[in-house]
Amino acid sequence: MQVRLGLLRLVDGAAPVLAAARGLLAAEGLEMRFSVEPSWATLADRLAWGALDAAVMLPPLALAAAAGLRGGGVPLVVPMGLSAGGNSIALGHAPAEAAAGGGGAVACGRRLLRWLRAQSAPPRFAVVHAFSTHAVLLRYWLAAAGADPDGDIEIVVVPPQHVTAALAEGRIAGFCAGAPWGEAAERSGAGRVLFGSSAIWQGQPEKCLALAAPWAAAHPAAVKGLLRALLQAGRICDRPAEADGLAALLAARLDLPEDAVRATLPGGQALERVRFAAGATWYPWLSQGAWWAAQMGRWGWLPPAADALALAHEVYRPDLLAPAAGELGLPWPVAGAKTEGGHSCPWRLPGNPEPLPLEADQFCDSLIYSENGQILQGVPTH
Amino acid sequence: MVLARLRCVKILLADDDAARARALARALAEDPTLHVVRIPRGRPLAEAVAAEAPDVVLVDMAHADRDALEGVRALSARAPHPVVLFVDQDDPAFMEQAIAAGVCSYNVLGMPPPDVKPILRAAIALFRHHQRAHSELAERRVLERAKAVLIRERSIGEPAAHRWLQRQAMLRGRRLVEVAREVLRARGEAEEA
């Protein structure tokens, strides 16, 4: 059976690309038809109107689409996480110099804020889509440092493949984008990577798999096969020994700069690297969906908190993943939601038949969030 | 003034395919109530929208600046002018066709201007026409390349190569261009030049 999957030219689309190249999908009786999309808007439209069955998606964009913020179309569901981390905050040379120094992301942000306010007009910062993890993380960080993301900077949208040029030409002061574009900006001399997104939220969930809900409902066997293949592919993508081959594969299939890709894969040299499966990245945590939804509500993109939580629970569907994960013998959490933040080193969460090994998940402002995405503990600085 | 009463609709046209954009602009220009502005190649779409404040944006679905266009409405605190391109949301089949035709839909203010439908239909018809012309041209190229291969391999003339392809197509109940594609594929040549 054929599955039509859309993705953008980014490192975190590695799992499906590898699953196809290694025959993991063929073993499930599936043939993947890839559609490399020029923009998130195109990807979301195609998924919403039945021209794609599946997509490598940004969680906030999936939530925005499900909430009807982009117009009509078929509902979508998120049965699986595909990657964590890998984004960079890159700045032009002048702001980078102003912000650099010790003390973590918030201290950098405070130094940057002084530079921002010394400019004649709010400097422009680029994200890759309005409803992106990048937009949420950039806002989260600046707000934690005492800045007003709607006043101290102007946020603009620039496609990921164009951010490096925009930075080099001085059209933007900085950007937050996925791998390998921060690394590429640094290598080309356009600017500097201040830090990776893990400095804002350690191991932040990044891309997820989104499925057109009617397609998923009509083809449960294909869904299970697809998820099994992607679960296995994610584990392979995590092995540093596979990184050279994977970098070459992604460079060839997605037309990406191979060196920069290699650096951002597990075991690479980049400041921020992508994680694919480890730390139960594959699990579609309800608490993470709730966190994104709550943050979207914070900036006025979504209706009030209660609705945002209901939306996250409607879109995030661990029940769809359970059969595939069970067959592969993956540990399954006792609860599908957890607190987010507060762990400065790897920890374990109760699961069956054994606990799940999770990674550190601290926020730059040390806050801890409840299963519903609300501040649970800590002194809110914003 | 007569013109002012005509409720002129300003259309911003963003399409990197110059021939298609010209054709579309020509078709729309026939209607005196439409004022069409084309974006020069390379000018960021969001910037043009801010400067021109159009009533309607006709944008190529595959335009890389589409995310930026979505950003104009989602990120900007000030309400942007309507960025349209539409299809009724209650008609998914029509929308699907629109997407297949390379047209995309936007609905910023919630409601399309009353007269957007004929504009869109004209746009879609043109996109389709252009697409069809484009694919016919591509098929002719495939056929010519397959013939060239046969002429070279078998030392035969062009009419004989054409007859061979026709015979194969007839015998196997396939389209001529499908046989031509197979000829190229069997020799490891790219099917689309």
Which chain A residues are within 8 Å of B69, Cβ to Cβ? Answer: 41
- Of A91-100, B6-15, B36-45, minimum mean pLDDT range: B6-15
pLDDT of residue B40: 77
Give the whole-angstrom CA distance, residue A154 versus residue B30.
40
Residue B98 lies inside a defined structural domain of this protein: yes
Per-residue pLDDT at B1: 39
Pair B53, B148 in one domain? no
Is A164's Cβ below 8 Å from some Cβ in B? no
What's the pLDDT at B75?
43
Range of weakest confidence among A85-89, A360-364, B140-144: B140-144
User: If you average pLDDT over residues A89-109, what whole number do you get?
Assistant: 95
Q: Across the interface, which of A51, A69, A159 has its CB nearest the CB of B96?
A: A51
Residue B37 lies in a domain: yes
**How far does B63 lie from chain A, in Å, by closest CA?**
7
Domains of chain A as residue ranges with CATH: 2-83+205-298 (3.40.190.10), 88-199 (3.40.190.10)
Q: What angle do CA A87, A88, A93 make, to 5 degrees?
A: 165
Q: Are residues B80 and B34 in the same domain?
A: yes
pLDDT > 70: percent of chain B: 52
Distance, in Å, from the CA atom of B177 to the CA atom of A176, rounded to the nearest integer, reads 47
The structure tokens listed for A228 are 């099994």
Query: CA of B147, closest CA in chain A: separation in Å?
Result: 30
Cβ–Cβ < 8 Å for A287, A338: yes
Tokens of A131: 């409803």
Number of domains in chain B: 2
Query: In whole angstroms, what is the distance from residue B129 CA to residue B108 CA?
Result: 28
Write out residues 78-107 of B within 8 Å (CB-CB) of A.
89-90, 92, 95-96, 99-100, 104-107
Mean pLDDT, residues B118-134: 59
Co-location of B89 and B179 in the same domain: no
Chain A residues close to B65, C-beta within 8 Å: 39, 159
Closest residue on chain B to A8 (Cα): B64
End-of-domain residue from the set B52, B80, B114: B114
Last residue of a domain, one of B114, B143, B160: B114
pLDDT at A22: 97
The residue in chain A having the minimum alpha-carbon distance to the alpha carbon of residue B62 is: A38
Averaged pLDDT, A166-190? 93
What CA–CA distance (Å, rounded) separates A255 from B103?
25
Q: Which of A83-97, A218-232, B10-24 has the lowest mean pLDDT?
A: B10-24
Nearest chain A residue to B90, by CA: A72
| Exposed e or buried b per residue across A168-186, where buried means at least 16 C-beta atoms within 10 angstroms of its C-beta | eeebbbbbbbbbbbbbbbb
Burial class of residue B186, CB neighbours in 10 A (0-12, 13-18, 19+):
exposed
Q: Is B128 on the interface with A (CB under 8 A)?
A: no
Q: Which residues contact B81 (CB under 8 A, 6 or more apart)?
A: B49, B53, B54, B55, B108
**A158 contacts in B (CB within 8 Å)?**
68
Nearest by CB to B62, which of A42, A131, A155?
Answer: A42
DSSP bridge partners of B60: B103
B52 with B9: CB under 8 angstroms? Answer: no
Residue B29 lies in a domain: yes
> Are B20 and B110 contained in the same domain?
yes
Domain end marker among B63, B86, B114: B114
Q: Which amino acid is at A9?
A: R
∠ CA A156-A159-A163, nearest 5°, is: 75
Residue with tokens 């730059």: A364
pLDDT at residue B155 tops 70: yes
In this prediction, residue A232 has a pLDDT band, given cuts at 50, 70 and 90, of very high
Residues B15 and B103 in one domain: yes
B157 reaches A (C-beta below 8 A) = no
Q: Mean pLDDT across chain B, nearest whole number? A: 69
B93 pLDDT tier (thresholds 50, 70, 90): low
B109 touches chain A (CB under 8 A): no
Sheet holding A124-127, edge to edge: A154-157, A124-127, A174-177, A88-91, A192-196
Q: Inter-chain contact B89–A150, Cβ cutoff 8 Å?
A: no
CB A99, CB A109: distance < 8 Å: yes
Inform me whether the pLDDT recorded for A58 exceeds 90: yes
Judgement on whether residues B99 and B59 belong to the same structural domain of the protein: yes
Q: Rounded distance, CA B190 to CA B193, Å?
A: 7
pLDDT value for A220: 97
Q: Among A358-362, B1-5, B153-157, where is mean pLDDT lowest?
A: B1-5
Measure the CA–CA gap between B124 and B38, rounded to whole angstroms: 17
What CATH number does residue B97 fall under?
3.40.50.2300
User: Would you call B77 an interface residue with chain A, using a CB distance cutoff of 8 Å?
Assistant: yes
Phi, psi of A284 (to 5 degrees): -85, 80
- pLDDT score of B123: 55
pLDDT band with cut points at 50, 70 and 90 for residue A289: very high
Per-residue pLDDT band for B72 (boundaries 50, 70, 90) equals: low
Instruction: Name the helix (H) or strand (E) containing B165.
Output: helix B158-172
> For residue B181, what are its two tokens?
């594609």
Cα–Cα distance for residue pair B39/A265, rounded to 1 Å: 39
Mutate to test the interface with A, among B47, B49, B70 (most CBs of A within 10 A): B70
Q: What is the mean pLDDT of residues B158-180?
A: 91
Separation of CA B50 from chain center: 24
pLDDT of residue B191: 61
B74 and B148 assigned to the same domain: no
**Chains A & B: contacts with CB separation below 8 Å:** 84
Has residue B77 been placed in a domain? yes
Tokens 């969680």 belong to A59
Assign A42 a pLDDT band (cuts: 50, 70, 90).
confident
Residue B73 pLDDT level (bands cut at 50, 70, 90): low
Please give the radius of gyration of chain A, using alpha carbons only, rounded to the nearest integer. Answer: 19
> Is the pLDDT assigned to residue B103 strictly greater than 60?
no
B88 lies in the same domain as B48: yes
**Among B46, B70, B75, beta carbon nearest to A41:** B70
What's the CA gap between A140 and A315, in Å, rounded? 23
For the cut 60, the answer to whether the pLDDT of residue A276 exceeds it is: yes
User: Which one is predicted more confidently, B8 or A295?
Assistant: A295
> Would B158 be classed as within a structural domain?
yes
Residue B30 maps to a domain: yes
pLDDT at residue number A165: 92
Domain assignment present for B124? no
From chain A residues 114-133, the ones with a CB under 8 A of any chain B CB are: 127-131
Is the pLDDT at B89 greater than 60? The verdict is no
> Residue B60 is part of which domain span?
2-114
DSSP β-bridge partners for residue A125: A155, A174
Q: Which residue of B has its CA nearest to A151?
A: B77
Tell which residue, B111, B25, B106, B20, has the closest CA to residue B66: B106
Cβ distance B66 to A301 less than 8 Å, yes or no, reads no
Of A39, A45, A130, the CB nearest to B64: A39
Place of tokens 């035969």: B156
Residue recorded with tokens 């395919």: B17
Residues B148 and B69 in one domain: no
pLDDT score at B81: 42
Q: Is the model's pLDDT at B90 over the cut of 50?
A: no
Report the percentage of chain A scoring pLDDT > 90: 84
Which among A36, A49, A153, A255 is the top mutation candidate for probing chain B, defined by the most B β-carbons within 10 Å of its own β-carbon? A49
Select from A46, A129, A150 the Cβ nearest to the Cβ of B67: A129
- For B92, which of A49, A131, A157 is closest by C-beta distance? A49
As a three-state string, the secondary structure of chain A is CEEEEEECCCHHHHHHHHHHHCCCCHHHCCEEEEEECCCHHHHHHHHHCCCCCEEEECHHHHHHHHCCCCCCCCCEEEEEECCECCCEEEECHHHHHHHCCCCHHHHHHHHHHHHHHHCCCCCEEEECCCCCHHHHHHHHHHHHCCCCCCCCCEEEECCHHHHHHHHHCCCCCEEEECCCHHHHHHHCCCCEEEEEHHHCECCCECCEEEEEHHHHHHCHHHHHHHHHHHHHHHHHHCCHHHHHHHHHHHHHHHCCCHHHHHHHCCCCCCCCCCECCCCCCCCCCHHHHHHHHHHHHHCCCCCCHHHHHHHHHHHECHHHHHHHHHHCCCCEECCCCCCECCCCCCEEECEECCCEEECCCCECCCCEECCCCCEEECCCCC
- The CA distance from A227 to the nearest CA of chain B, in Å, is 27
By C-alpha distance, the chain B residue nearest A299 is B75
B48-61 residue pLDDT tens: 877 887 766 777 66
Q: Which of B15, B47, B59, B67 to mutate to test the interface with A (most CBs of A within 10 A)?
A: B67
Closest Cα partner for A177 from A59, A275, A88, A273? A88
Token pair of A57 as six digits: 């998606």
Check whether residue B106 and residue B142 sit in a common domain: no
Q: Residue B131: its pLDDT value, please?
A: 58
Distance from CA of A40 to the nearest CA of B (A): 6
Q: What is the ipTM of this complex?
A: 0.70
Chain A contact probe: residue of B15, B47, B60, B75 with most A CBs at under 10 A: B75
Q: B169 and B83 in one domain?
A: no
| Cβ–Cβ contact A300 with B under 8 A | no
pLDDT at position B52 is: 81
Judge whether B191 lies within some domain: no
Query: Within this chain, do residues B54 and B145 fall inside the same structural domain, yes or no?
Result: no
* More reliable by pLDDT, A48 or B134: A48
Average pLDDT over residues A107-121: 97
Q: DSSP readout, B25-39?
A: HHHHHTSTTEEEEEP
Average pLDDT over residues A229-252: 98
